Structure 1
Amino acid sequence: MNKLWLLIGAGIGYVLGARAGRERYDQLADQANKLWTDPRVQTKVEEAKAKAPEVAHTLGEQAKAKVDEVKSKVTGHESLAADGTYENATGSYSPQDGLQVDESKLGPTDAFRPDGDAQA
């Protein structure tokens, strides 16, 4: 019996809420439409559209500059070729020549050598 009253109450609330909700939605939609069609708003919209390509170009240039800056801070590159050769900032490997270590690029301090001995 209690579940029945709960369902009836929920149904009445839904019907009344839906009617009031639709009216309020229509009011908000009308206000939004009036705001959007206001000449002052449309002037700003047109200004933003005209400036968008310039802003996009500026942002693209800034991003490219930042990428170049980060690339310049990286000490080397890494590549793996189809023939089995491998190269990075600290050396390279090829099936013909074996492992080649560039001891001058072993990190920011070069405190340790590849053979495990600490430099004095």
Structure 2
Amino acid sequence: MRMKAAFLLGGAVGYVLGTRAGRQQFEKIRTQAQRLWEDPRVQEGIADVEQRASDLVKEKGPEIKEKVTGAVRSANDAVRGGDSDDSEAAGGKPNGTTA
């Protein structure tokens, strides 16, 4: 019984000391990461990436929109089994819908 109590006491002391040391190490790492994130060079790099992404979206957006629109129309035609060009040529809306 003494052996079991000594083991549990040792485990409890080890746990307390280990968590305290672990928390200190965690705080140290968190502080270093925060300092790195706030570094002006890092923020400048992030701003550059955001600007390039924004420019790319503005440049490719219309092209992507056309491709998506075409894919949706093709899928719609495949599901309905018709060709939207025929109904539009007849003066109606695509797939025989009305206004």
Instruction: Give the TM-score category using the shorter length.
Output: 0.5 to 0.7
> Structure 1 pair 60/7, CA: closer, same or farther in 2 (3 Å)?
farther
* Residue pairs, 1:1-120, within 5 angstroms: 1=5, 2-34=7-39, 35-38=41-44, 40-74=45-79, 75=81
Letter of the 1:43 partner, please give it.
D
Larger Rg: 1
Greater strand share, structure number? 1
Greater helix share, structure number? 2
Q: 1-side partners of 2:46 and 2:31: how far apart?
A: 21
Q: CA deviation at 1:71?
A: 2.0
Identify the residue that residue 88 of structure 2 maps to in structure 1: none
> Structure 1 pair 67/15, CA: closer, same or farther in 2 (3 Å)?
same
Identity %: 15
What 5-or-longer segments of structure 2 have no aligned partner? Answer: 83-99
* Superposition RMSD in Å: 2.4
Q: 1-side partners of 2:62 and 2:8: how far apart?
A: 63
Q: 1-side partners of 2:50 and 2:10: how far apart?
A: 53
Q: CA deviation at 1:50?
A: 3.4
Q: CA deviation at 1:18?
A: 0.7
The count of residues paired between Structure 1 and Structure 2 equals: 75
TM-score, normalised with respect to structure 1: 0.49
